[in-house]
């Protein structure tokens, strides 16, 4: 359609329109990217020099000091480790559990298939809410544990249904022939279906991994008093809260942090942490945009 419209002798008004659209799009693209580049430049610039202003997308006095400072602060190093760990563990466990359930739900000969589908689908629309969940976590003694990052969100009904619709597209005859060869259902799942589901699994893996990496509220709510279980997002949130004017009802203050930060300005540190938190997302971004869009349309059509 678009190529069909390209005409050499297009009227002037059409060409003006084209040019206007291109200009608008360039402005949008710059408005999207510039803030990231500006923050990157500030994070690599000497903190006393930054105060003078005028930094755009290149650092004026290049230094890695801001990064040295944040990584010499134990809290951030721990936060980094825990964030990486929860992303890996949460993604692996999430993938295994979602795909296993999806496999079971995709089996036409499974008796409880419909009941189980409904049982699971209900959780997409009904949620107990913040406080009952909080009390549950407390009663299960999950406060101050690593498990609280992984367990409550282990199975997402949406992800299960996305994988199931993918498995539905794999010919059932494959499973039947494996069965004739003497494989049990678990073997069929593990050896036959799982390897064939990789495109869907890649999508879900990215969904889960980005969610894990980006979450801060569970740390704030459940693990705020366990410094050994802090996450990078939560550390960034604390710096944000302590540098903006006033405090937003935070549980506890960030004084220890502020003392360490005395050597460089809090603003520079904030910029450096922001970059550290963003870079992993940028690294997987090429995959993200390839699989996410696919996953989103998959969910929209079948979910």
Footprint (CB under 8 A) of other proteins, residues 2-31:
2-6, 13-14, 17-18, 21-22, 24-25, 28-29, 31
> Residue 141 has which token pair?
């003694």
3-state secondary structure of 143: coil
- Residues within window 187-246 making contact with other proteins, judged by CB under 8 A: 189, 210, 213-217, 233, 236-237, 240, 244-246
Is residue 263 a contact residue for other proteins (CB under 8 A)?
A: no
- Please identify, using beta-carbon distances, which residue of 46 and 185 lies nearer to other proteins: 185
Is residue 123 a contact residue for other proteins (CB under 8 A)?
A: yes
> Residue 54 has which token pair?
């005028």
The partner residues of 45 in beta bridges, in order of sequence, read: 62
Is residue 38 a contact residue for other proteins (CB under 8 A)?
A: yes
Taking CB under 8 A as the binding criterion, the range among 68-76, 161-169, 192-200, 248-256 that sits at the site for other proteins is 248-256
**Per-residue x/- mask for other proteins, residues 101 to 120, rule CB under 8 A?**
x-xx--x-xxxx---x--xx
Among 63, 78, 226, 278, binds other proteins (CB under 8 A): 278
Q: How far is CA 69 from CA 63, 146, 236, 256, 296, in A?
A: 11, 26, 14, 13, 40
DSSP 8-state code for residue 4: G
Q: Is residue 242 within 8 Å of residue 254, measured between CB atoms?
A: yes
Among 49, 60, 89, 97, binds other proteins (CB under 8 A): 97
User: Among candidates 201, 197, 181, 200, which has minimal Cα distance to 189?
Assistant: 197
- Residues within window 124-143 making contact with other proteins, judged by CB under 8 A: 126-136, 140
Residue count, binding to other proteins (CB under 8 A): 97
What is the sign, positive or negative, of the torsion defined by CA atoms of 153, 211, 250, 226? Answer: positive
Is residue 296 a contact residue for other proteins (CB under 8 A)?
A: yes
- Residues within window 47-86 making contact with other proteins, judged by CB under 8 A: 51-55
Q: Is residue 46 within 8 Å of residue 248, measured between CB atoms?
A: no
């Amino acid at each position: 359609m678009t190529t069909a419209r390209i005409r050499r002798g297009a009227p002037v008004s059409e060409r003006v329109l084209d040019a206007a659209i291109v200009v608008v799009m360039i402005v949008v693209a710059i408005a999207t990217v510039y803030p990231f580049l500006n923050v990157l430049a500030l994070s690599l610039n000497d903190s006393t020099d930054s105060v003078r202003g005028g930094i755009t997308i290149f650092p004026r006095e290049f230094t890695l000091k801001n990064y040295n400072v944040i990584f010499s602060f134990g809290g951030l190093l721990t936060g980094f480790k825990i964030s990486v760990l929860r992303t890996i563990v949460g993604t692996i466990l999430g993938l295994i559990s979602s795909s296993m359930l999806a496999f079971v739900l995709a089996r036409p000969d499974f008796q409880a298939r419909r009941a189980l589908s409904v049982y699971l689908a209900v959780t997409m629309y009904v949620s107990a809410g913040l406080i009952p969940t909080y009390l549950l976590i407390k009663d299960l003694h999950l406060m101050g544990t690593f498990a609280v990052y992984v367990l409550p969100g282990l199975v997402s009904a949406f992800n299960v249904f996305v994988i199931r619709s993918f498995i539905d597209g794999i010919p059932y005859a494959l499973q039947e022939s494996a069965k004739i060869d003497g494989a049990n259902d678990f073997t069929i799942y593990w050896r036959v279906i799982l390897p064939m589901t990789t495109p869907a699994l890649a999508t879900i893996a990215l969904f889960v991994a980005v969610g894990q990496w980006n979450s801060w509220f569970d740390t704030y709510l459940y693990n705020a008093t366990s410094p050994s279980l802090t996450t990078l997002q939560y550390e960034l949130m604390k710096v944000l809260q302590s540098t903006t004017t006033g405090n937003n009802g935070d549980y506890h203050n960030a004084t220890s942090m502020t003392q360490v930060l005395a050597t460089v300005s809090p603003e520079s540190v904030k910029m450096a942490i922001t970059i550290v938190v963003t870079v992993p997302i940028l690294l997987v971004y090429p995959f993200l945009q390839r699989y996410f869009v696919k996953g989103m349309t998959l969910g929209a059509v079948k979910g």
